[in-house]
Amino acid sequence: MRLPLLVEPRELLEHLHDPHLVLIDVSHALVYREAHIPGARHLEIARILAGTQPCPGTVPEPEQLHRALESLGIEPHHHIIAFDDEGGGWAARFLWTLHLCGHTGYSYLNGGLVAWLSEGYPVTSELPTIDPSKWTVTGHPEVLADADYILSRLGHPDCTLWDARSLEEYTGQLQFGPKAGHIPGAIHLDWTELLDPVRHMRLRPLAELHVLLDKVGLRASTEVICYCQAHHRSALAWLTGRILGMTNIKAYPGSWAEWSTLRHAPTVRLSNPYES
């Protein structure tokens, strides 16, 4: 099956009963039980996160990932479409994890459950039958950056850091961790700027996103590394970059939650929130 990385609800409806398609719903469990796209399998996002403080967004041990992915019944020939009910961050985090584990046949449902429900497409409360699979990890570690890698790339003109948090977090006005501010040289672009609430939480039109990213200096000609607080918001940044054609884009799962704890990791804190 060949589907684009970004799939519209109408397009999904046309393929809904294809046996090679697997839908993964990363919405809140209560929402899933109430109404979900027919056939969608539910994933509790905590199952693919380390969940340990102070860096809950780091990648868990391989065995934990194996169990979570096998329980979804994903096979190598399956094309995965992921979605959630909150703007795409958790769905994107799942797709990033899937890519990291070696499965690259996937798409994101534009607007997720919000668009699907708002536009009147069918839903059910019936739970699907899932036959667990045997997961074989091949791995694509090129989508992951850790703190040491970022430290080695700081200041390189061919590497750009994308901070997807709020402006207040970026400047240091809001502090979540031992230190406030951002990684030196990081470009700020809040993940919410990628979304179009008027169009039921879809991504903004791709032409607009190209202009937006280019305006702030996020370009496909350099390596791009995304981060936020715990690689939730930055997962959507990573996925958006992929959709826009960035082939050398990574994400830092430790993100600010980890960086702010590292004594040797430099930070920048702005006195004026409009400084850049």
The burial class, CB within 10 Å (0-12 / 13-18 / 19+), for 275 is: exposed
Under the banding of pLDDT at 50, 70 and 90, the label for residue 272 is: low
Q: Is the pLDDT of residue 276 over 80?
A: no
Measured between alpha carbons, how far is 65 from 47 in angstroms, rounded to an integer?
Answer: 7
**Burial class of residue 13 in the structure, from the number of CB atoms within 10 Å of its CB (0-12 exposed, 13-18 middle, 19+ buried):** middle
The C-alpha atoms of residue 134 and residue 148 are separated, in whole angstroms, by 33
Are 6-140 and 144-259 the same fold in CATH? yes
Work out whether strand 195-196 and strand 202-203 pair parallel, antiparallel, or are unpaired: antiparallel
Give 143's DSSP letter. Answer: G
45: nearest Cα among 30, 27, 33, 63: 27
Task: With a cut of 90, say whether residue 275 has pLDDT above it.
Answer: no
Give residue-wise pLDDT tens across range 199-257.
999 999 999 999 999 999 999 999 999 999 999 999 999 999 999 999 999 999 999 99
Structure confidence at residue 138 (pLDDT): 74
CATH class of the domain comprising 6-140: alpha beta
Q: Do the Cβ atoms of 221 and 159 come closer than 8 Å?
A: no
CA–CA distance, 41 with 34 (Å, rounded to integer): 13
Number of residues in the chain = 276
The string of pLDDT tens digits covering residues 134-190 is: 877 678 899 999 999 999 999 999 999 999 999 999 999 999 999 999 999 999 999
Q: Is the pLDDT reported for residue 111 higher than 70? A: yes
Average of pLDDT values for 11-30?
A: 96
Residue 220, Cβ neighbours under 10 Å: how many? 16
Q: Rounded to two decimals, what is the model's pTM?
A: 0.95
**pLDDT score recorded for residue 161:** 98
Q: Is 228 a catalytic residue?
A: yes
Can you give the residue ranges of every domain in the chain? Answer: 6-140, 144-259
Catalytically annotated residue among 101, 159, 226, 228? 228
User: What does the DSSP 8-state code read for residue 204?
Assistant: P
Contact status, residue 108 vs residue 81, Cβ threshold 8 Å: yes
Per cent of the chain over pLDDT 90 is 92
Q: Look up the CATH number of domain 144-259.
A: 3.40.250.10
